[in-house]
Chain A
Amino acid sequence: MKEVMVDDNASKKYKRKSLYAFIAFFIMIGAAYGSWKWLNHQPLDGGLRGGIQQPLRNVLDANEKLFTSTFDRNKLIKEYPKSEAVKKVRVNGDAGLDTTFFDAKDWKLQIVKSNNDTLFITLDDIRALPKTEVTFNFKCIEGWNQVTNWGGVRFSDFAKHYGLAKEMDLKYVGMKTPDEEYYVGIDMPSILQPQTILCYEMNGSPLPMNQGFPLRLIIPVKYGVKHIKRIGTIFFNNEKPADYWAERGYDYYTGH
């Protein structure tokens, strides 16, 4: 801290300097306010569904690039003893679960291959594959979490069994409910992480209707919004498949 004594002339100079500083200060406040207004008035990227301002989306996409580039598909999420899993599993969201036109007996999982052939796979076929269980801290994007237990077939085992090697070379997997009301898009490294399962059991029993009977996705490296319930169709693409919550302004990646 420097102190100087100055005469009248220099004192006037400092007063002028002080005035300029305040003018600059108010210009900066105006600029900041203007930028804020500009950002908030940018068109939303989700069209009629809402979404978020395009500049924000661009940064979220850059965040995604950063975190996918550091993602290690062999790294495992912490698992808990099965006994720690809650019995009363929270139900959140029912998009795509309307049972009016849904007949469980007719359900078959449809896999659209890259040559556009479609495989139809029954629940019994899926249950016949090696079973993997995962007990982990399920995290909802809203901020709550629960230790839950799930059983099903590891997605990578499933893909190997059905000869989906070519599809696994693409960048994204898309999944839709039978009524196409709910849909997610997921990056390939996350879907091939060994704890990601096509899940048909919760706490050792078949999935309840409100948890997505007969088959849902459990992908522990993502927030709950990506754990689509009642999968109808799975397809593969190099482009990002449509994603229900991303269209409504959420981060597309939502990995954690």
Chain B
Amino acid sequence: MPVKIIHKHKLATRWMHWINFPLLTIMIWSGMLIYWANDVYQIKIGNTVLVKFFPEWFYNFFHVPHRLAEGMAFHFVFMWLFMMNGLFYVCYTLFSGEWRYLLPNKKSFKEAWQVLLQDLHLRKEKPPQTKYNAAQRVAYSMIILMGLGSIITGLAIYKPFQLQWLLTLCGGYEVARVIHFVLTIGYVLFFVIHIVQVILAGWNNFRAMVAGFEIIKVKEEAAPTTIENKE
């Protein structure tokens, strides 16, 4: 039976993707240890607290309390690796031409909506796509911008005196800290949706992120498929 090989993700892309995963996890975890020391954020309506960042059970579950020093040490060491990996990715994407698959174009925003409807089973057919569909283009480009936002606000909070201009650009210390926090929540939401989508997309899609290619069996009407199917 003929088989179709789709070469999807370049080696560099796969490396940087999988390196980013533990790095971002460490950044979020150590950031949480830091945030605990002054955990003032909450979502309120009137005087009713809807969500407190974060509840006691959450802190205890992740062993967060009283680890500010440790959190800062890890955060200010792994930030370099996180930034470098992000920088390599952006440079690689620009110079290899991969950006053509990644950046949203004129149609992407409209199509992203159609992809969403299709995902939610409100629409039957998919809009045409290449390596990434329109929703992926929007999401994956946005996550890079978010990373840039985290670096800028992070540096502004890290060195508010030496990088006073950057702090001013961010709208001050408090604002920079809020943005930094919200972006982090954004990564976690991205991660959850990402995992669900990867599970739904199935094995071949996952294989492409590890091995680089998809292996697709092509059904031919007259082909004797019984033997090969045992494989």
- CB atoms of B73 and A141 under 8 A apart: no
With a cutoff of 8 Å between Cβ atoms, the chain A residues found around residue B160 in the complex are 139, 256
* Interface, chain A (partner B; CB < 8 A): 1-8, 10-11, 14-15, 17-18, 21-22, 25, 28, 32, 36, 50, 52-53, 55-57, 59-60, 63, 67, 70-71, 75, 77-78, 137, 139-145, 220-221, 245, 248-251, 255-256
CA of A137 to CA of B177 in the docked complex: distance in angstroms? 15
Known: A3-B6, A5-B3, A60-B77. A250 touches B69 (CB 8 A): yes
With a cutoff of 8 Å between Cβ atoms, the chain B residues found around residue A59 in the complex are 76-77, 80
- Closest B residue, CB atoms, query A36: B22
- CB atoms of B162 and A70 under 8 A apart: yes
Known: A6-B2, A249-B70. A256 touches B161 (CB 8 A): yes
Stretch among B30-38, B42-50, B106-114 lining the A interface:
B30-38
* Interface, chain B (partner A; CB < 8 A): 1-8, 18, 22, 34-35, 37-38, 40, 68-70, 72-74, 76-77, 80, 101, 130-131, 158-162, 164, 173-174, 177, 207, 210-213, 215, 218, 228
Could you name 26 residue pairs across A and B whose Cβ atoms are closer than 8 Å? A1-B8, A2-B7, A3-B7, A4-B7, A5-B3, A5-B218, A6-B4, A7-B2, A10-B5, A14-B3, A14-B215, A52-B73, A57-B73, A59-B77, A60-B73, A60-B76, A63-B76, A75-B162, A145-B173, A145-B174, A221-B161, A248-B69, A249-B70, A250-B69, A251-B76, A255-B162
CA of A158 to CA of B149 in the docked complex: distance in angstroms? 42
With a cutoff of 8 Å between Cβ atoms, the chain B residues found around residue A10 in the complex are 3, 5
Known: A11-B3, A143-B37, A251-B73. A71 touches B162 (CB 8 A): yes
- CB atoms of A6 and B162 under 8 A apart: no
CA of A24 to CA of B173 in the docked complex: distance in angstroms? 44
CA of A237 to CA of B100 in the docked complex: distance in angstroms? 57
- CB atoms of A5 and B4 under 8 A apart: yes
- Closest B residue, CB atoms, query A193: B161
- CB atoms of A56 and B77 under 8 A apart: yes
- CB atoms of B162 and A67 under 8 A apart: yes
